[in-house]
Amino acid sequence: MLSKQPFERRILIAFVLMTVMVSGLFSLSIVAVVHFIEEHLVSQDMSRQLDETLKEDISQDLAPRLDSSTRFFSSDQAQYAIPAEYKGLQEGFNEVVNGDQAYYVYVQEINGQTYMLVQEQEEFEARESALFNVVLAGFLLTVIAAWGLGLVTARKVMAPVTRLAQQVRHRDQLHPLAPPLAPDYPDDEIGQLAAAFDSTLGQVRQSLERERLFTSDVSHELRTPLMIIASSCELLSEAPLAPREKEQVARIARACEEMRELVQTFLQLARDKSNEAVFIGERSLASVAEEQACRWGALMEEKGLAFQMQVEGEDHGQYNATFLATVMANLLRNALHYTEHGSVRLILEQGAFRIEDSGAGIPIEQHERIFQPFVRGAQARGEGLGLGLSLVKRICAKQGWQVSLQSEPGHTRFRVTLNTSSV
Ligand SMILES: Nc1ncnc2c1ncn2[C@@H]1O[C@H](COP(=O)(O)OP(=O)(O)OP(=O)(O)O)[C@@H](O)[C@H]1O
Ligand SMILES: [Mg+2]
């Protein structure tokens, strides 16, 4: 239970618990020692009084000269006959409780006769309860003081840690110009922790910067050659070419367009949401699906697979066209690669789409793994890297879409839910 408390409270609880233990033990010992000494003194005092009474009063046939709270009894004199409740007590000091009254009884045997002094405990009780009150008050005060002191100490101890946590959480630490944390702290454990944060954050900043430069370099460097290829294809397509050559040029133009889209996809994945608006082209599920069906349907038919696009439900949503096309293309490419004969179907639902194939299927134990980067399944074909599904998963996570997989031999179904609220 203690380990679930915040650190500051744990210090405080430990502080107070320790004080309760030490001060409680100390108070109990004080009470016990005082009790013991007082009893010892009372016993000595009564022994002396009994001696004096016997020697100075009883032996001279005088009445015992005792204070009002003390009485004398003896077994050999009828006027001092021992009351029944005090009979049979052992020699020496005894405590007897009689109703709500308590008595000290001191017994001495001389020549077979029993002599006894009985003293009321009231005075001692009063002193004892005063002592008890003082000790209890001291104990409570110590615990309250420990709580206050613990609170101040815990705050003081935790202040630099709390400050460091806030700085790490709130300051724009990944900004390249963010000042280092370590100089704000003395060179103790917290200073070392701050230095460790600085070094880790430095590495993260460097790799982010590298990634940023990489994506902008890619966009910059690839855009120009892609534009040149695209415009050359356009010029070539207008030139007097044989139909076969014209088709080749059209394929180059399509591949160029695909490459441009992919560059855009990677750029979008690397950028944060704030920059996204610049790139987004929104399109409907049907229009993206038709384009992809056109592109992949031809290749499937070339391979001898039956390809079908079915519309099961009208969808009116608008989606990020680049991302949707990339997800669909990757799933269709996999269906094409991993289906040897039979059919592939692209089915549009309201707020979702499915891609089903009649390939060998994916064993259930691989269902989670194949979505990880660089993981390829048992029936990997061609030169793929195992990145397709991981890209699909990352895009879906970024867009709030959901991808699910059902597979058995002869039937594999990937379903992507685009509008999670409508399904
Ligand atoms: N429709 C499918 N039928 C059978 N197996 C599949 C299907 N889709 C994916 N897989 C399995 O999942 C693995 C991972 O797929 P993923 O698309 O991530 O990588 P890849 O296709 O091997 O390579 P890349 O996509 O990078 O070219 C594949 O190697 C394959 O074994
Ligand atoms: Mg793939």
Question: CA–CA distance from 294 to each of 184, 309, 397 (Å)?
Answer: 62, 10, 27
**Nearest ligand atom owner, CA of 414:** 1
Higher-pLDDT residue of 269, 62: 62
Residue 398, phi then psi, degrees to nearest 5: -65, -35
**Cβ atoms within 10 A of the Cβ of 421, count?**
7
Average pLDDT over residues 169-179: 75
Pick from 262, 260, 264, 257: nearest CA to 279: 264
Q: How confident is the model at residue 318 (pLDDT cuts 50, 70, 90)?
A: very high
pLDDT number for residue 289 = 96
Higher-pLDDT residue of 324, 172: 324
Question: CA–CA distance from 309 to each of 109, 147, 285, 287, 408 (Å)?
Answer: 118, 73, 12, 12, 22
Nearest residue (by CA) to ligand 1, atom 20, is 386
Contact 303, 340 (CB under 8 A): no
Average pLDDT over residues 153-167: 89
Check whether 208 has a pLDDT greater than 90: no
Extended beta strands in 70-135, E state:
70-74, 92-98, 101-110, 113-120
Strongest mean pLDDT among 47-56, 177-186, 370-379: 47-56
Pick from 260, 254, 412, 252: nearest CA to 332: 412
**Nearest ligand atom owner, CA of 371:** 1
Instruction: For the full predicted model, state whether its pTM sits above 0.85.
Output: no
Give residue 60 CA to ligand 1 midpoint distance, Å.
Answer: 121
Closest atom of ligand 1 relative to the 383 alpha carbon: 27
Average pLDDT over residues 96-119: 88
- CA-only gyration radius of the chain, Å: 47
Closest atom of ligand 1 relative to the 371 alpha carbon: 18
The terminus-to-terminus CA distance of the chain in angstroms comes to 42
> What domains can be seen in the chain, in order of their start residue?
2-147 (3.30.450), 189-273 (1.10.287), 280-417 (3.30.565.10)
Higher-pLDDT residue of 423, 318: 318
Check whether 271 has a pLDDT greater than 90: no
pLDDT in tens, 13-33: 998 999 999 999 999 999 899
Nearest residue (by CA) to ligand 1, atom 8, is 334
Check whether 416 has a pLDDT greater than 90: yes
Give residue 96 CA to ligand 2 midpoint distance, Å.
Answer: 95
Cα 253 to Cα 248: distance, rounded to the nearest angstrom: 9
Check whether 263 has a pLDDT greater than 90: no
Pick from 279, 278, 277: nearest CA to 262: 279
Which residues' Cβ are closer than 6 Å to ligand 1?
A: 334-335, 338, 357, 359, 362, 370, 376-377, 379-380, 384-390, 412
Q: Ligand 1, residues 370, 394, 404, 406: which to mutate, most atoms within 8 A of Cβ?
A: 370
Check whether 203 has a pLDDT greater than 70: yes
pLDDT number for residue 3 = 61
pLDDT in tens, 339-396: 999 999 999 999 999 999 999 999 999 999 999 988 888 766 677 788 899 999 999 9
Question: CA–CA distance from 191 to each of 154, 157, 244 (Å)?
Answer: 18, 13, 71
Q: How confident is the model at residue 42 (pLDDT cuts 50, 70, 90)?
A: confident
| Span of 67-76, 256-265, 351-360 with lowest mean pLDDT | 256-265
Rounded to the nearest integer, the mean pLDDT of the chain is 87
If residue 146 lies in a helix (H) or strand (E), which one and from where to where? helix 122-170
**Nearest ligand atom owner, CA of 377:** 1
Q: Ligand 1, residues 262, 303, 389, 413: which to mutate, most atoms within 8 A of Cβ?
A: 389
pLDDT number for residue 222 = 82
Give residue 271 CA to ligand 2 midpoint distance, Å.
Answer: 24
Closest atom of ligand 1 relative to the 370 alpha carbon: 14
Contact 310, 285 (CB under 8 A): no
Average pLDDT over residues 221-241: 88
Check whether 304 has a pLDDT greater than 60: yes
Closest atom of ligand 1 relative to the 360 alpha carbon: 4
pLDDT in tens, 113-140: 999 999 888 777 788 788 889 999 999 9
Q: In this structure, what DSSP letter does residue 418 have?
A: S
**Cβ atoms within 10 A of the Cβ of 273, count?**
8
Burial classification of residue 229, based on how many CB atoms lie within 10 Å of its CB (0-12 exposed, 13-18 middle, 19 or more buried) = middle
Which residues line ion ligand 2, judged by CB < 5 Å? 334, 384, 388
Tokens 């990634």 belong to 211
Cα 393 to Cα 403: distance, rounded to the nearest angstrom: 7
Q: How confident is the model at residue 423 (pLDDT cuts 50, 70, 90)?
A: very low
Helices (H), 351-423: 388-399
Closest atom of ligand 1 relative to the 387 alpha carbon: 26
Q: Ligand 1, residues 296, 338, 375, 413: which to mutate, most atoms within 8 A of Cβ?
A: 338
Check whether 303 has a pLDDT greater than 90: yes
Closest atom of ligand 1 relative to the 359 alpha carbon: 3
Annotate 257-313 with DSSP letters as a single string: HHHHHHHHHHHHHHS-HHHHTTT--EEEHHHHHHHHHHHHHHHHHHHT-EEEEEE-S
Nearest residue (by CA) to ligand 1, atom 17, is 388
Cα 322 to Cα 324: distance, rounded to the nearest angstrom: 6
pLDDT number for residue 380 = 64
Cα 354 to Cα 415: distance, rounded to the nearest angstrom: 4
pLDDT number for residue 122 = 78
Residues in Cβ contact with 145 at an 8 Å cutoff, skipping those fewer than 6 apart: none
Q: Ligand 1, residues 334, 337, 339: which to mutate, most atoms within 8 A of Cβ?
A: 334
pLDDT number for residue 267 = 74
